[in-house]
């Protein structure tokens, strides 16, 4: 009988020790997790500050008044020769397109390196299907060229880069007529938000200043990722980009 009691006390002791070890283990895990969360919060705070500082710097250096024949920023274009070939997601160059703001952002990870004025149709309820700007994630295609003219639409553009339909949808300059003269009524819409009554008739393409369109055509290779936002985006597409 005494032996059984001693065994019971022994088992109880072992259970107490195991419970104590479990509590200690959980406490240590919670401490480690708290330290990890704190570190991540510090990293995020530092990253948010860098993003905010870059936006302020670029806002100060945006060209005003907007010029269709000049780069959008007063600063030089970013040097991305190494980054465009990187396989690391955080280092890759990609584009964020905002129909709402009429801007194209050259980004590296979460950071905006350069901002371009743009003009493209917004997808209002009244916008016809063939005039709508596609939304979602895309990749630049290999089709590109120094200029084109579309007789069916009676305009062309310089420095075009296809992103859908092998040349059907493009990044391109503001439009030019058959004589090679810029169509000023359209060029003056660069960077200005359209309305339902005065939407951009770009047939789904994204128009830029001539130098900006040339920079994209010459510096961003096929398969460069980009994201065209829908109206009133709630999240940064960087988090949605596929690896």
User: Residue 113: left (phi > 0), alpha (psi -120 to 50), or beta?
Assistant: alpha
Bridge partners of 95, per DSSP, are 106, 226
In order of their start, the domains of the chain are: 61-239 (2.40.440.10)
Return the pLDDT at 241: 65
Q: Phi/psi zone of residue 63: left (φ > 0), alpha (ψ -120 to 50 degrees), beta?
A: beta
Q: Does residue 114 contact residue 208 with C-beta atoms inside 8 Å?
A: no
Task: Please give the helix or strand (H or E) that residue 226 lies within, else none.
Answer: strand 225-228
pLDDT for the residue 212: 98
Determine the Cα–Cα distance for residues 110 and 208; give it in Å rounded to an integer: 22
Give the three-state DSSP class for 21: helix
Tell me how far apart the alpha carbons of residues 89 and 60 are, in angstroms, rounded to a whole number: 29
Q: How far apart are CA 139 and CA 141, in angstroms?
A: 6
Q: How many Å apart are CA 223 and CA 145, to the nearest integer?
A: 16
Task: Give the CA distances from residue 11 to residues 4, 18, 25, in Å, rounded to whole numbers and listed in that order.
Answer: 10, 10, 21
pLDDT computed for residue 235 by the predictor: 77
- Are 89 and 109 in contact by the 8 Å Cβ rule? The answer is yes
- pLDDT given for residue 118 in this prediction: 98
Please give the sequence-ordered ranges of beta strands (E in DSSP) within 60-209, or none if there are none.
93-98, 103-108, 111-119, 136-139, 144-150, 155-164, 169-173, 206-208
What pLDDT does residue 86 have? 83
pLDDT tens, N- to C-terminus, the chain (243 residues): 555 666 666 666 677 676 667 677 767 767 767 676 666 666 656 666 766 777 677 778 899 999 999 999 999 999 998 888 888 888 899 999 999 999 999 999 999 999 999 999 999 988 999 999 999 999 999 999 999 999 999 999 999 999 999 999 999 999 999 999 999 999 999 999 999 999 999 999 999 999 999 999 999 999 999 999 988 777 787 776 655
């Amino acid at each position: 009988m005494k032996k059984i009691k001693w065994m019971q006390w022994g088992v109880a002791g072992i259970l107490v020790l195991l419970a104590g070890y479990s509590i200690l283990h959980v406490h240590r895990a919670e401490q480690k997790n708290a330290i990890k969360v704190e570190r991540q919060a510090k990293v995020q705070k530092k990253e948010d500050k860098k993003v905010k500082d870059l936006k302020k710097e670029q806002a100060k250096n945006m060209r005003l008044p907007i010029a269709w024949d000049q780069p959008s920023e007063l600063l030089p274009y970013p040097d991305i020769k190494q980054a465009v070939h990187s396989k690391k997601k955080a280092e890759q160059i990609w584009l964020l397109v905002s129909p709402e703001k009429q801007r194209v952002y050259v980004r590296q990870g979460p950071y905006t390196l350069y901002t371009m004025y743009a003009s493209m149709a917004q997808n209002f309820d009244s916008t016809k299907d063939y005039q709508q700007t596609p939304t979602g994630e895309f990749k630049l295609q290999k089709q590109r060229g120094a200029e084109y003219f579309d007789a069916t639409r009676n305009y062309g553009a310089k420095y075009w880069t296809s992103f859908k339909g092998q040349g059907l949808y493009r990044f391109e300059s503001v439009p030019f007529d058959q004589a090679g003269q810029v169509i000023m009524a359209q060029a003056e819409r660069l960077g200005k938000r359209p309305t339902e009554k005065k939407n951009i008739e770009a047939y789904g393409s994204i128009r830029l200043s001539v130098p900006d369109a040339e920079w994209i055509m010459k510096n961003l290779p096929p398969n460069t990722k980009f994201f065209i936002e829908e109206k009133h985006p709630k999240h940064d597409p960087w988090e949605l980009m596929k690896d």
